[in-house]
């Protein structure tokens, strides 16, 4: 079994990565393979609504000059998908949004592409807006008949400077529980 | 055998919400799927008073200090593998009694004895609004927040309706209605389909959780 996590933070080694690591620890305890994909630096663009994916139905985005198709391939190959983004102005980062828009439309064009995979989202905010960002990613899973797992509390943590989330015990516990719940579902699904 | 508990929170007798919930539960009822419909209409469910009795003093079989309709409901919820909650849309949110029920379910999440018993159940919602654009999504989303916070797993119908079953109770969601036919929700074919698809995925997941894939 495999879980792929997409890190929407422009920082490769920031708080979002730390939180993904906490979820991964729990998955790995259950012998679930993990892969972390950084969206930072890839310069992925948003969807241009050309709808070529509906004509081609080849599980690919027709815009091929960035890393989105690579991400889509990883999503298809995985049993579970984690979307992780810092909270920017009560929403996800641009990097995460580009992935959601384009993998999302390709998934609708190719019905069933992500069906019944496990989905988990997490976010980190300095003070506010995490709920909206988290809902944004959880709602993505609901668009594709994926099964969305939660945690012992909404999957968010507090931090601004790199490493701040390490001081948020409650947030770290939430990530652990999120990882455990995802492992639970994956073990049931497979 | 999986147990799906459908709970309707419309205060109206023979309501559109109850009607779509019944249709939906019937659509998944088979020899190995047992469904039950409970209506909150006419029942008393008081607000949670945050007395913390459930955290500190909860007893076997007695989940909350307040004795009202929840006494009957708690064991049904505990026994269910899937909770399908159906509510009318009021001001882009749940009906009051559904909100009260959710608040009181705190006793099953934090309770001294029942803590965690909602964990890994399957959750899904159906919302019925009068007008087409009057807040179905925020209503269903508020259910999703509750499910996820209780460590439940959400089933959804996919891109035909992101958040779950979503239907209208006036003709085409325009506010027009036929006084001779109260159950306009049954004319909302797409709405019915979103609810059936939600329930079908709920049953599939509930079976997987119960017996493994």
- Mean pLDDT within B93-98: 97
Q: Which residues of B touch A116 (CB under 8 A)?
A: 201, 204-205
Quick check: A148 and B156 CB within 8 A?
yes
Amino acid B151: pLDDT: 95
Quick check: A150 and B212 CB within 8 A?
no
d(CA A72, CA B191): 30
Q: Which residues of B touch A187 (CB under 8 A)?
A: 212
Quick check: B151 and A152 CB within 8 A?
yes
Amino acid A18: pLDDT: 98
Quick check: A147 and B153 CB within 8 A?
yes
Amino acid B134: pLDDT: 86
Per-residue model confidence as pLDDT tens digits over B103-160? 999 999 999 999 999 999 999 999 999 998 889 999 999 999 999 999 999 998 888 8
Half-sphere exposure of A58 (CA within 13 A, CB side): 9
Quick check: A154 and B209 CB within 8 A?
no
Residue of B nearest to A136 (CA): B141
Whether the predicted pLDDT of B162 surpasses 80:
yes
Where is pLDDT greater, at B211 or B151?
A: B151
Q: Which residues of A touch B156 (CB under 8 A)?
A: 141-143, 145-146, 148
Amino acid A30: pLDDT: 97
Mutate which of B109, B136, B141, B151 to disrupt the A interface (most A C-beta within 10 Å)? B151
Per-residue model confidence as pLDDT tens digits over B179-199? 899 999 999 999 999 999 999
Q: Residue B101: left (phi > 0), alpha (psi -120 to 50), or beta? A: alpha
Query: Across the interface, which of B149, B201, B213 has its CB nearest the CB of A150?
Result: B149
Neighbours of B61 (CB within 10 A): 10
- As a whole number, the mean pLDDT across chain B is 95
To the question of pTM greater than 0.95 for the whole model, the response is no
Which pLDDT band holds residue B213 (cuts at 50, 70, 90)?
low
The SS3 of residue A41 is coil
- Mean pLDDT within A54-81: 98
CB A42 within 8 A of CB A67: yes
Amino acid B158: pLDDT: 86
- Mean pLDDT within B46-57: 97
- Mean pLDDT within A62-87: 98
Quick check: A144 and B157 CB within 8 A?
no
Phi first, then psi: what are they for A163, rounded to 5°? 90, -10
Residue B170 makes CB contacts below 8 A (sequence gap 6+) with B130, B131, B176, B177, B184
Q: Which domains does chain A have, with CATH numbers?
A: 2-189 (3.40.50.360)
- As a whole number, the mean pLDDT across chain A is 97
Amino acid B211: pLDDT: 83
Whether the predicted pLDDT of A25 surpasses 80:
yes
What is the nearest CA distance from A119 to chain B, expressed in angstroms? 10
DSSP 8-state secondary structure symbol assigned to residue A7: E
CB B101 within 8 A of CB B146: no
Mutate which of A136, A145, A151, A174 to disrupt the B interface (most B C-beta within 10 Å)? A145
Whether the predicted pLDDT of B47 surpasses 70:
yes
Q: What's the CATH code, domain B2-211? A: 3.40.50.360
d(CA A126, CA A124): 7
Per-residue model confidence as pLDDT tens digits over A105-151? 999 999 999 999 999 999 999 999 999 999 999 999 999 999 999 99
Amino acid A19: pLDDT: 98
Q: In Å, how far are A146, B83, B141 from B205, measured between CA atoms? A: 10, 12, 19
Q: Which residues of A touch B164 (CB under 8 A)?
A: 142
Query: Across the interface, which of A142, A149, A184 has its CB nearest the CB of B156?
Result: A142
């Amino acid at each position: 079994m495999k879980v792929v996590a997409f890190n929407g933070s422009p920082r490769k080694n920031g708080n979002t990565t730390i939180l993904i690591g906490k979820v991964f620890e729990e998955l790995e305890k259950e012998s679930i393979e993990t892969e972390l994909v950084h969206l930072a630096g890839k310069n992925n663009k948003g969807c241009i609504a050309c709808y070529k994916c509906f004509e081609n139905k080849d599980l690919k985005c027709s815009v091929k000059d960035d890393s989105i198709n690579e991400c889509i391939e990883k999503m298809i190959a995985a049993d579970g998908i984690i979307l992780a983004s810092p909270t920017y102005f009560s929403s996800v980062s641009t990097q995460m949004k580009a992935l959601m828009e384009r993998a999302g439309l390709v998934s609708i064009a190719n019905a069933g592409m992500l069906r019944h995979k496990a989905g988990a989202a997490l976010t980190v905010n300095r003070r506010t807006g995490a709920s909206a960002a988290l809902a944004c990613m959880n709602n993505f899973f609901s668009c594709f008949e994926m099964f969305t797992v939660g945690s012992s509390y909404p999957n968010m943590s507090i931090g601004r400077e790199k490493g701040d989330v390490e001081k948020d015990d409650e947030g770290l516990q939430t990530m652990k529980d999120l990882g455990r719940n995802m492992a639970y579902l994956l073990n049931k699904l497979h | 055998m999986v147990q799906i508990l459908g709970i309707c929170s419309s205060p109206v007798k023979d309501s559109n919400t109850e009607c779509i919930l019944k249709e939906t539960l019937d659509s998944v009822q088979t020899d190995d799927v047992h469904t039950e419909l409970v209506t909150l209409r006419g029942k008393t469910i008081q607000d949670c008073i945050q007395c913390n009795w459930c955290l500190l003093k909860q007893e076997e079989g007695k989940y909350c200090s307040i004795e009202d309709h929840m006494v009957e409901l708690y064991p049904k919820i505990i026994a269910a593998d899937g909770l399908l909650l159906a509510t009318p849309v009021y001001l882009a949110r749940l009906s009051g009694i559904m909100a009260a029920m959710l608040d009181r379910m705190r006793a099953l999440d934090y309770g001294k004895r029942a803590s965690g018993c909602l964990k890994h159940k399957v959750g899904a919602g159906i919302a019925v609004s009068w007008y087409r654009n009057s807040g179905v999504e925020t209503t269903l989303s508020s259910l999703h927040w509750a499910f996820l916070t209780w460590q439940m797993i959400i089933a959804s119908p996919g891109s035909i309706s992101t958040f779950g079953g979503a239907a209208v109770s006036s003709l085409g969601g325009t506010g027009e209605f036929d006084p001779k036919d109260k159950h306009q929700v049954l004319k909302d074919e797409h709405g019915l389909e979103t609810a059936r698809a939600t329930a079908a995925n709920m049953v599939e997941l509930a079976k997987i959780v119960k017996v493994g894939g």
